[in-house]
Structure 1
Amino acid sequence: MSRPLSTYRVQLTPDFGFAQVAEIAGYLRDLGVTHVYLSPILQATPGSLHGYDVTDHSRIREEFGGAKGFREMAERLAAHDLGIVVDIVPNHMNTTNAAFWSVLRDGTASPYARWFDIEWDDDGKVALPVLGDDVEPVVDGDVLRYHEHEFPHPGHYRLVDWREGPGYRRFFDVSTLIGLRVEDPEVFFATHEVIFWLLDEGLVDGLRIDHPDGLADPRGYLERLRARTGDTWTVVEKILIGHERLPDDWPCDGTTGYEVLNRVNGLFVDPAGRQPLLELFTRLTGQPADYAEVVARSKGEVLDLFFGAEVRRLAAATGAEPETVAELLAAMPVYRAYVVPGEPVPPESAEIVETAAAACSPAARRLAHEVLYGPPEVVTRFQQACGPVMAKGVEDTALYRWFPLSCLNEVGGEPDVFGTPVEEFHAYCADMRPHAMTTLSTHDTKRSEDVRARLSVLSELPAEWKEAVTAWSSAVSHDPHLDYLAWQNLMASWPISAERFAGYLLKAAREAKTAISWVNPDPAYEQRLRDFAEAAVKLPVGEFTERIDRHAMSNSLGAKLVQLMMPGVPDVYQGNETTDFSLVDPDNRRPVSYPRTPASEWDAAKLLVTTQALRLRRRLGAEAAYTPLAADGEAAEHVIAFARGGGAFAGPVTGGAVTTGGPAAEGGPGVPGDEGRARAVAVATRLPVGLERRGGWGATSLTLPAGSWRDLLTGSVHTGRVPLAHLLNRYPVALLERHDL
């Protein structure tokens, strides 16, 4: 197989393994994807529904069908011209594994002692944070038992209070996921041996790398990986904030697309809705209007709650006070600044750390020099600590506290930034890596793409939304810190059962940590929350959803078309070729039935757009040039359009044409030239409520590149200057392929 042109993400579970994936091969081929993108396949904790808790890197997970089942699946997929991309987890593994058991039993004498980032105490022991009550551990032969935990006995470890933090690097705050030292060649090859033989045998064509920011040296890891795997398509789960870009020297094809998701979503958000929605949010919740204030407070709280061990370790290594270390970590605005010990500090990395320190105390400013230019241990450990603080402080706390418009509260999102200007989006696309992954929904998104499509409509209807929320809140209320988030997501995920809705709210409340948390439950509060969910789903919330769904459908189809046709390798998350109104995991990992059968007009239109766009991408290839097109007329702001496969034609673009793949046509923007190159055009409606208010498209038109163009959604043929009222009279989107080549 070749490098992917598109992927379809499948969440493997004990009930949906390799045999079940093989059964949908024909369906996926007809859908138009080139590769099936699998969640982690290595042996994991029994019953795991996600697979990121690997316990044995030497085996393919038996619950999915083992090595034999994988090979059979690969053969059946190949027969349908489908390849495989696998998700791998180099940063950590579950603590219930034979290697760590050996370390607990034999300490530094274990052959696996070098596998893990362990801080041995003065007695040569490692702290295990599991103690939580007055129950005494029980010795049972050569095993020590404490509740559900088991440890070797005798052992080279000490049990400590669970609040103390472990004597090893872990994944975020999850003590059952221990960090791996893949910078060690022995560990690198031992933990990748199965992946390498799958690649060597041609059974796998691509890799998705989970959480590289947790590694001691992400770039070095990718260099070793590429040296072993050659030109294998490789994307990394890297969260980029704002204008941050993937480091140029990383040998990979790009990211998994969170930054693309947020930019596409922003195209369908009206900036004019920011102030009224912010005023509604602050009035209902009592939260401040300044998001940065909430982020700073959240990061400070999670440092106190979860990262005491990491802070103390850095403080001991630097000689700084723990409070100073925490202050600088909380001020970091990104997941990592990428400083490599022994190498010159990149100017942009120094600027990130020094700018963060400038807002801190003099002691933190002195510490900034140490974490940039100090000993390797200090530089590396600070880099590894930044990501967890960002993830827990922002993703898992602040985003559940500050939500004027929760479709903006995505991984890597900036909820105080309303809208992506079209010109900015075109410029971003012009600079994209051609083989980076793009996506709209993942197993980690806070809500599915269609839930976000509904929420985006609220940015155009703040007054109507305020009226509806006021009525619902007067009928049912629970917690002012949570209720407004509840109303947004109840409306946008409708119809939803009380059980599903309560499950989402419980997670949201625990993540927000304003009333309860994962470590501080309150049974009475949680019961009141369930009662609220039961009462809320009985209100006429669905009536509001029905009123906005024609606009939400427009947003949904527009976002889907843009994501599938823009530069990059588009991924479709399982089931999202039709409508999906899922919330955060585990809700978005519910079983999906195949084939997807349209149950509504929206379903049918989304499946049509997805299928035609994916099949067209197969014909276009990955590196087809991207050329912005702009409409002419009073409603021009309500369309985004671009051509693929050409580079010599640039339509009129406000602020100047942005063209990739070739020079602008002679004669300037809007003049067709070099007619033989553009092969596809995508056109999508944006801000549909505003378009309706102005009376529709009127005389606004779009000039197509020279040639004859067939709309793959309707069969209509168009040439030259086309009125948008005609082009978009059946669907709010158009997908055109040149058919006179």
Structure 2
Amino acid sequence: MTVLRATVRLQLNRDFDFAAAAAEVPYFAALGLSHIYLSPIAMARPGSTHGYDVIDPAIVNPELGGEAGLAALVDQLHAHDMGAILDIVPNHLAADLANLWWNDVLAHGEAGTYAGYFDIEWNAPEAEGKLWLPWLDVPLEQALENRRCVLARHTGGVGLGLWLDEDALPVSERSLQWLFEHAGIELPLAAGGRLFDAVRLHVQDEPNQASLDQAISAINADTGLIREFLDLQHYHLGRWRDSGQQLNYRRFFDIHSLAGLRMERDEVFDAVHALPLRLIENGSIDGLRIDHIDGLAQPGHYLRRLRERVDQCSQRDLQRHVTLHVEKILAAGEKLPDDWPVDGTTGYDFMQQLGSLLHDPIGYAELCDAWSTLIGRPADFAQEELTARQYVLSTSLAAELSRCTRRFRELATALDDDRDAEGVPRAADTVRDALHDVLAEMPVYRSYLGDDTITATDRQVLDRAFARAEKDAPPDDESTRATIKRHLLFTAENTPTPGQTRFLEASRYSFEQLSSALNAKAVEDTAFYRHGVLLSRNEVGSAPAPAAPEPESFHAAAHERALRWPRWLLATATHDHKRGEDTRARLAALGERPQAFLEDFNTLSKAFGSRAQPFSFTLWMLLQTLLAAWPLDLRADDAAGTLSFAQRIKAWLRKSEREAKLHTHWTAPDADYEGACDLLVDDLLRGAGYASVRNDLCRAAHRLDAAGALNGLVCATLHFTAPGVPDLYQGTEYWDQSLVDPDNRRAVDYHTRAQTLKQTPDFSALLKHYRDGAIKQHLIYRLLQLRKAWPGLFAEGTYQPIPAAGSHKQHVVAFARKLGHRQLFVAVPRLCSNHLDPSERPMADPGFWLDTRIEAFGNDPAGTFVDVFTSRQHAVKAWGWRAGDLFFDWPVAVLIPSSQADESLALPG
């Protein structure tokens, strides 16, 4: 098994399948990566671009090449001494007719074999024991009148189904009996409940077919009869606009087409994990990435069970450690639960740490003032977040809130604690309002009470949420909130009965799973699209204004990883990011130059001031996005280039505005508003009447090139030298100026990347031509080669912050790694966008550093350290190294002892 050193995340789809991935393995190996990190490979919906809409978890997706394609990819990896990590989806499956489990539920209802696999509330009010299917865009009566829902024979004429437009829905036994009665055909009672087999047998008889066709024709012509047939199904066809109130199955966030699984059940766990465990056992897979761990009812129990099963599958090799990484968003100060047997998260937290390190609080304060003036209220993200949470709870997650309310009312009844101080039963609306107010104040994704152990951390989280609710919510519901808190924290000191335990668990599961979905939808997918002060801070896992001081916070997180979490993944870009790593790096540079941005914004506002739409705050966010995502090689007069860029920006702006939910929505698009946004982008980037504005915009964007590139190189250096396992998102070894999906999932030109990797670099030329991205690739290559040569240092080495002194000490971040005689020194500049090299190279001006120096690290017998990029020698001196010397001819400094240089594969030449 290959030791985990560095990964590359690949988004598989039918256009980039196992064979395509295998073709790039030689390049990945040459770059120095140890593992590929695959998006889900189980059978997904046909044409899936991401793999998270799984329809059969036990089958390798044929669109990707199936078992044979996967085996060929694994063989290619092993031939290059590489391995694979697999992304798995335990939280949900696609609620799709191609999903046999879901079909079974539709055909058999609550009595179906797989009904217990899905998290369905069959006894929800008005459900009548049926599953609500939000598949209509109009009321059911209108769909019936328009003959969009009809009966028909299919599958060679021997099957019977209910057709909704182009889809054939399963039908129930009761409805088939009803249909045969209308056709005058006696359907004998089926032995052993095999009525469907009896139906298939009788339909094959030609006289029966004629009778059935006549009956079907009559039923389809009578909306009353077709409605009667529908009433006999185990599902109710509803309008998707109404599903926020009526839906009775748990979703992935608020996505109707992804149905939540009950992973706490043994049979569900076994069925979903059969494929990945088999691949671990046969040596194809070396690690698992668990998607959306916070969506599960019992994350801790799940992970302990998974760890046990994974270890059983790999026990033939006692030296083998199969890694487990969880997709978990950590809030500021939040830690992974101590009892989770994992190797770390997938690295959103590292994205936050880098973003915080490059964040200029002085520039941000100026932007806050301007943004506050623009929107007419304080630039307070906490209030923006609270407003978004309240909105989402009242709209797209209303059904989930109603479900949570029912669970707590049932628990209160079981505990005989369902009355207020005056003895009056608490109304559903009162409980719902109290839950709404507490959930809106949750400071993290969720607590973990469902794991049956109430930790001090859980208590702190809930205490904080309830305290906030007392401050912000109406005082009338105070006693109800106190009751909810008492029920949530019901402990073993008051031993519950078995019946009470069932209601207690259901209440905790519902509260915590709703809390997780709410945080994702309200913060990341709503508030982040409304709060526009500086968009580099609006990233998954991040916060608009970091509170912790830097670089102290960065050092503290790195030190903890070195001590406790050496295999923690470090991400700088993902398939879920809002903006690519170099888009954010350019925005961070913009944040250091607030006055320049405000001047550009005023100019743009005047040019488009006569337009009623979009609104000025949308224009603000659009301008930041244009400046940050403007391709480094794009000229204002490049017709083809600006057309391509305009298409990307329009797609981003439409998604951004729909996610913000202020002027248009996914559920109710405002065509006029969205058309006005499209027209503005087209005019700005392509319109003849706006050529002057476009030229100004182009110049403003290119003024960020060197500063953004320097930030990007700083991030790459830290990414591949800090404690943890760096994860390279596909293609980001070149500049990554992507936007939110699907823009961040575009095809990668690996051929060009492979060609530049083969070239012997001239480092002065790389600096001069930095816009082509080769400089970033070669920096990553050097550091990956160093990790390959010295894996122990990076996996087990200590982390020591190195202090700086002098006039600009706050502009330097330095640290050392050490293991035995191995030593590594890293120094990078920060917040230097206003202090760049006069030659417009992505470097700080050597003259800027003045007397700034960095404490020398370590003792080397040769008395010198050598830079792994330039091979320049730096003598060890008692007073340290001058920053101006370290950053004289290369943007960053990574030094190793000269006496060990011949052992490293990283030095050029």
**TM-score, length-scaled by structure 2:** 0.76
Q: Specify the alignment match of 2:779 in structure 1.
A: 609
Instruction: For residue 346 of structure 1, report the CA deviation from its aligned partner.
Output: 1.1
Change (3 A) 1:537 1:68: same
Change (3 A) 1:489 1:419: farther
Structure 1 residues without counterparts, runs of 5 or longer: 647-675
In structure 1, how many angstroms separate the alpha carbons of the residues matched to 2:287 and 2:738? 27
Secondary structure at 2:648's aligned position in 1?
A: helix
1:330 aligns with 2:478: no
Task: Give the structure with higher Rg (CA).
Answer: 2
Q: Specify the alignment match of 2:485 in structure 1.
A: 368
Moved more, 487-496 or 507-516: 487-496
Moved more, 39-48 or 623-632: 623-632
Q: 1:164 aligns with which of 243, 252, 262?
A: 243
Q: Specify the alignment match of 2:396 in structure 1.
A: 306
Q: 2:552 aligns with which of 383, 403, 423?
A: 423
Instruction: For residue 418 of structure 1, report the CA deviation from its aligned partner.
Output: 6.9
Alpha-carbon contact 2:605-2:616 (below 8 Å) kept: no
In structure 2, how many angstroms separate the alpha carbons of the residues matched to 1:593 and 1:365? 58
Counting only pairs closer than 5 Å after superposition, residues 81-96 of structure 1 correspond to structure 2 as 81-96=81-96
Secondary structure at 2:744's aligned position in 1?
A: helix
Change (3 A) 1:393 1:49: same
Alpha-carbon contact 1:6-1:570 (below 8 Å) kept: yes
Q: Give deviations 1:490-510, integer Å, cap 9, x for gaps.
A: 100003611110000000000
Q: Give deviations 1:515-557, integer Å, cap 9, x for gaps.
A: 0010010111111110111123252312112112211111110
Q: Give deviations 1:393-445, integer Å, cap 9, x for gaps.
A: 00000000012111000012111337850122111111121111001100111
Q: Specify the alignment match of 2:597 in structure 1.
A: 465
Q: Specify the alignment match of 1:359 in structure 2.
A: 468
Instruction: For residue 559 of structure 1, report the CA deviation from its aligned partner.
Output: 0.9
Q: Specify the alignment match of 2:129 in structure 1.
A: 124
Q: 1:135 aligns with which of 143, 151, 169?
A: 143
1:447 aligns with 2:579: yes
1:347 aligns with 2:456: yes
Letter in 1 for 2:171: H
Alpha-carbon contact 1:235-1:253 (below 8 Å) kept: yes
Q: Specify the alignment match of 2:629 in structure 1.
A: 493
In structure 1, how many angstroms separate the alpha carbons of the residues matched to 2:665 and 2:294? 26
Alpha-carbon contact 2:2-2:82 (below 8 Å) kept: no
Q: Give deviations 1:433-469, integer Å, cap 9, x for gaps.
A: 1111001100111100100111001221111111111
Q: Percent identity?
A: 37
Secondary structure at 2:48's aligned position in 1?
A: coil
Counting only pairs closer than 5 Å after superposition, residues 42-441 of structure 1 correspond to structure 2 as 42-96=42-96, 97-121=99-123, 123-133=128-138, 134-136=142-144, 137-141=149-153, 142-147=160-165, 149-154=167-172, 155-162=233-240, 163-165=242-244, 166-230=247-311, 231-286=321-376, 288-319=378-409, 320=428, 321-340=431-450, 342-343=452-453, 345-360=454-469, 361-362=477-478, 363-373=480-490, 375-417=504-546, 421-432=550-561, 433-441=565-573
Structure 2 residues without counterparts, runs of 5 or longer: 154-159, 173-232, 312-320, 410-427, 470-476, 491-502, 632-641, 687-693, 757-765, 837-843, 901-909
Change (3 A) 1:616 1:740: same
RMSD (Å), alpha carbons: 1.8
1:35 aligns with 2:61: no
In structure 2, how many angstroms separate the alpha carbons of the residues matched to 1:357 and 1:140? 55
Instruction: For residue 338 of structure 1, report the CA deviation from its aligned partner.
Output: 1.0
Secondary structure at 1:607's aligned position in 2?
A: helix
In structure 1, how many angstroms separate the alpha carbons of the residues matched to 2:630 and 2:549? 26
1:689 aligns with 2:824: no
Q: Specify the alignment match of 1:656 in structure 2.
A: none
In structure 1, how many angstroms separate the alpha carbons of the residues matched to 2:821 and 2:374? 54
Q: Specify the alignment match of 1:671 in structure 2.
A: none
Moved more, 319-328 or 70-79: 319-328
In structure 2, how many angstroms separate the alpha carbons of the residues matched to 1:265 and 1:14? 34
Secondary structure at 1:251's aligned position in 2?
A: coil
In structure 1, how many angstroms separate the alpha carbons of the residues matched to 2:47 and 2:243? 29
Moved more, 169-178 or 367-376: 367-376
Q: Specify the alignment match of 1:625 in structure 2.
A: 798
Alpha-carbon contact 1:267-1:419 (below 8 Å) kept: no
Q: How many pairs align?
A: 711
Change (3 A) 1:242 1:147: farther
In structure 2, how many angstroms separate the alpha carbons of the residues matched to 1:700 and 1:187? 60
Alpha-carbon contact 1:19-1:69 (below 8 Å) kept: yes
Instruction: For residue 722 of structure 1, report the CA deviation from its aligned partner.
Output: 2.5
Q: Specify the alignment match of 2:873 in structure 1.
A: 717
Instruction: For residue 164 of structure 1, report the CA deviation from its aligned partner.
Output: 2.6
In structure 2, how many angstroms separate the alpha carbons of the residues matched to 1:399 and 1:341? 31
Moved more, 410-419 or 33-42: 410-419
Alpha-carbon contact 1:127-1:158 (below 8 Å) kept: yes
Alpha-carbon contact 1:43-1:56 (below 8 Å) kept: yes
Alpha-carbon contact 1:510-1:517 (below 8 Å) kept: yes
Letter in 1 for 2:731: G
Secondary structure at 1:340's aligned position in 2?
A: helix
Instruction: For residue 309 of structure 1, report the CA deviation from its aligned partner.
Output: 1.5
Q: Specify the alignment match of 2:808 in structure 1.
A: 635
In structure 2, how many angstroms separate the alpha carbons of the residues matched to 1:541 and 1:157? 54
Q: Specify the alignment match of 2:499 in structure 1.
A: none
Moved more, 586-595 or 347-356: 347-356
Q: Specify the alignment match of 1:655 in structure 2.
A: none
In structure 1, how many angstroms separate the alpha carbons of the residues matched to 2:582 and 2:343? 28
Alpha-carbon contact 1:271-1:418 (below 8 Å) kept: no
Secondary structure at 2:289's aligned position in 1?
A: strand
Alpha-carbon contact 1:447-1:584 (below 8 Å) kept: yes
Instruction: For residue 107 of structure 1, report the CA deviation from its aligned partner.
Output: 1.5
Q: Give deviations 1:353-395, integer Å, cap 9, x for gaps.
A: 1221123240223222222327111011111110111111000
Moved more, 98-107 or 475-484: 475-484
Secondary structure at 1:679's aligned position in 2?
A: strand
Q: Give deviations 1:681-726, integer Å, cap 9, x for gaps.
A: 2211101135459951113222132223221111112231322212
Q: 1:704 aligns with which of 854, 857, 877?
A: 857
Alpha-carbon contact 1:22-1:77 (below 8 Å) kept: yes
Q: Give deviations 1:217-237, integer Å, cap 9, x for gaps.
A: 001111111001124111100
In structure 2, how many angstroms separate the alpha carbons of the residues matched to 1:266 and 1:620? 29
Instruction: For residue 285 of structure 1, report the CA deviation from its aligned partner.
Output: 3.5
Counting only pairs closer than 5 Å after superposition, residues 537-576 of structure 1 correspond to structure 2 as 537-538=685-686, 539=694, 540-576=696-732
Moved more, 352-361 or 501-510: 352-361
Letter in 2 for 1:138: V
Instruction: For residue 286 of structure 1, report the CA deviation from its aligned partner.
Output: 3.8
Instruction: For residue 287 of structure 1, report the CA deviation from its aligned partner.
Output: 5.2
Alpha-carbon contact 1:403-1:415 (below 8 Å) kept: no
Instruction: For residue 215 of structure 1, report the CA deviation from its aligned partner.
Output: 0.4
In structure 2, how many angstroms separate the alpha carbons of the residues matched to 1:286 and 1:62? 54
Alpha-carbon contact 1:706-1:719 (below 8 Å) kept: no
In structure 1, how many angstroms separate the alpha carbons of the residues matched to 2:703 and 2:547? 23
Q: 1:514 aligns with which of 659, 662, 669?
A: 662
Alpha-carbon contact 1:448-1:582 (below 8 Å) kept: yes
Secondary structure at 2:806's aligned position in 1?
A: coil
Q: Specify the alignment match of 2:824 in structure 1.
A: 680
Q: Give deviations 1:626-662, integer Å, cap 9, x for gaps.
A: 111122321211111111124xxxxxxxxxxxxxxxx
